[in-house]
Every structure is written in structure tokens, then in C-alpha cells.
Amino acid sequence: MSTKNKLVDFRAVREAVSMEQILSHYGLLEAMKRSGDNLSGCCPIHKGTNPTQFRVSVSKNVWNCFSECKRGGNVVDFIARLEDVSPYAAAQKAIEWFHLDPEKVYTAGDRAPNKPGAMPVAKELMSKPKPETAAATPPVTKAESDAPNPPLKFRLDKLQRDHPYLVERGLTLETLVDFGVGYCDKGMMAGRIAIPIHSVEGQVVAYAGRHVGDPPEGTPKYKLPPGFRKSLELFNLDRAKAESGPLIVVEGFFDAMILHQLGHRKVVALMGSSLSPAQEALIRHFTAHSDQILVMLDEDDAGRAARGEIAARLARFAFVRIHAFAEEGQQPEHLTADEVSALFS
């Protein structure tokens, strides 16, 4: 097939090529020290001399430079950095070097190659809510209907996508661009990871600022703009509503982003461990009686305390299941792709 005017499917390229293959291509693999899942060595990008500053996780297929570059990424990012070319050009080099199947690594220009139906459905739902589900929506309280979160009049731009913390959390560049997430170095969210929160109509109503790493005592993990009411929103609902299949309800932004990245796109985050009446109404609005919902909160005291009640409330209008993890402290963001597909098998 002709590859002119085709979009590169970055995910397919990343899945087809390993960091080891890339390092080997450049003749860099032999100089790397292997220890378990990790390779370490001098950073070939900034041409460092310290052999511990550049690291590769073989299983995650990502790299990180903890020195001058202060960044990391996937195989495509690595080629892009090393060659100083765009991610598109980098992906094309990988396709050429490793003779990747053009049928698999190019798409016809669809933004969501795995789900060609997703975009039109989203449009239809945005312009015209389904009357039968609208009728099933319970009345919202006066305070809530009076004061929705207003759309923001600005956007945080120049966010750094390939921040090491985001790589460490397992998010790919594609996911970060998709969710508009990145490290912010100025303004209200300076020094934090900015995560846009969209209303159900898809307008940005706030940015959540995640502290990079564990915050010191007294510093909140998340910063939200004053006046913003998170109880009125469900993170990712604007897009999840257009997807089919079971809905997964999780606590955090990262849980939702990782599940989305692993292919389960019908996922929303409560942004905490409680379900507000407005959030319940939102889920109800986009749920039919035969739909399934999986409540998957963190395996900790707060998650265990909340999930029974949340499931009971949702069970009034859908089939609801609770997912309990085998080990204390486990969270949806730690699931593997296989574990995610096993959830509904």
C-alpha cells in the first residue's frame, strides 16, 4: 500500500521495536550494564560520561536520562532526541530500519485507529443527548444546577510532555498528548504536572496540578484552582461517554489514563474515593439498564470503605461489579494490559 499521506500509528511502532533493538542499531547496547530489568550507561543523547545517568527499563520499553536531558520516553522519543528529528521522522526511521509491516504501522488518517467509530458517536452525543437516557436522569439539586464550573478562558501551553516523572508513571507520549498532560514550569501550576479536567461537554474547566513525586509534609499532592468544584465533574467522561462496553470507575487521573492507554477507553475517575450526587447523575445519564459498570477503587482503607456504597448506588440503574485487588495498596494504574483484558473475560 502507498504510505503517502498516511499517519504513523505510534503505538504500533512502539510495540514492534524494543529499546534493546534501537540501542543495538546504534551500537550502544554492548556498553550498557544490565541489572535485572534495567540497562544503564552513559547518556548517548547529551553524550554524558557518567555511566549511571542513562537508564532503560526493558519491560516498560522506556528510557530516562537523569542528568542534563532530564527527560525520558519511548523508542520513538529516543530516536527523535538522538537524531534531533520530529517524532514522525523518528518513527519512519524505525519502520525502515526494522522493516515493519506498513499495514500495521500506518493508518489512513483516523485519529483513533483501533476504534474507527469513536469520533462520529462522540459528535452525535455532544450535539444531542439521547432522549431516553435524558429522561432517566434524576433531578440535580438547585445549588448544582445553578453553578456549573465555567469553562476556562486560557490554556496552559508549552507543557513538557516527556518529563521523567510521567515516564516513571508509565504514560506514553501519545497518551500525554491525548490527555493534554505535561509538566508546567510557570504560573499557578509551576513545578507541577498539569492535568486538564474537561466538563461532560468537553470544555476545559480546570487544571489539576500534581506534585512531582511524593510531596513534603503539608504540601498537597494535588492543587486545584480556587472555586473549582470537582464533585460536579468526572474525569474523562467527555470521551468515555462515546465508547461502548463496560464502564470502569476509578479514583485517580493516572488510573484513568493508564487504563485508557491499555485499551480500555470507557473509564472515568472520581478524583477521590467518593461519588457525589452530581457524579452519580452524570453516570446515570450515559448508562442504559443493560450496561455494566466496574467499580475499581484503590485497595486501601478509603477505597474499601467507599466502594460498597458506590456500587450499591450505581446498581439501581446498571449491572455493577466491584473489583477487589489481592494485595494491599494496589491500584488500577498498576494493572498490565493482560490483566485489563481479563477483567471482563
Binding site for Zn ion (CB under 5 A): 43, 45-46, 65, 68-69
Q: Which residue is it, cell 499557578?
A: 188
Residue 75 Cβ, how far from Zn ion at the closest point, in Å?
A: 16
Nearer CB in complex with Zn ion: 80/340: 80
Nearer CB in complex with Zn ion: 44/87: 44
Phi, psi of 182 (to 5 degrees): -175, 170
How far is 48 from 30, CA to CA, in rounded Å?
17
Amino acid residing at 232: L
Nearer CB in complex with Zn ion: 45/314: 45
Strand 62-65 to strand 267-269: parallel, antiparallel, or no bridges (unpaired)?
unpaired
Burial code of 172-183, b = ≥16 C-beta within 10 A, e = fewer?
bbbbbebbbbbb
Residue 43 Cβ, how far from Zn ion at the closest point, in Å?
A: 3
Nearest Cα to Cα of residue 17 among 77, 66, 67: 77
Residue 265 Cβ, how far from Zn ion at the closest point, in Å?
A: 34
- Burial of 226 from C-beta contacts in 10 A (0-12 / 13-18 / 19+): exposed
Phi, psi of 75 (to 5 degrees): -60, -40
Residue 63 Cβ, how far from Zn ion at the closest point, in Å?
A: 9
Residue 70 Cβ, how far from Zn ion at the closest point, in Å?
A: 8
Nearer CB in complex with Zn ion: 68/301: 68
Dihedral sign of CA atoms 158, 162, 163, 169 in order:
positive
Nearer CB in complex with Zn ion: 69/176: 69
Nearer CB in complex with Zn ion: 46/321: 46
Residue 67 Cβ, how far from Zn ion at the closest point, in Å?
A: 5
How far is 17 from 171, CA to CA, in rounded Å?
17
Residue 202 Ramachandran class (φ > 0 left, ψ -120 to 50 alpha, else beta): left
How far is 74 from 17, CA to CA, in rounded Å?
10
Nearest Cα to Cα of residue 56 among 73, 76, 80, 79: 73
Residue 77 Cβ, how far from Zn ion at the closest point, in Å?
A: 12
Nearer CB in complex with Zn ion: 69/271: 69
Residue 68 Cβ, how far from Zn ion at the closest point, in Å?
A: 5
Nearer CB in complex with Zn ion: 164/332: 164
Which ranges constitute the DSSP H helices of 2-150? 10-16, 19-25, 75-83, 87-97, 102-105, 118-127, 131-135, 142-146
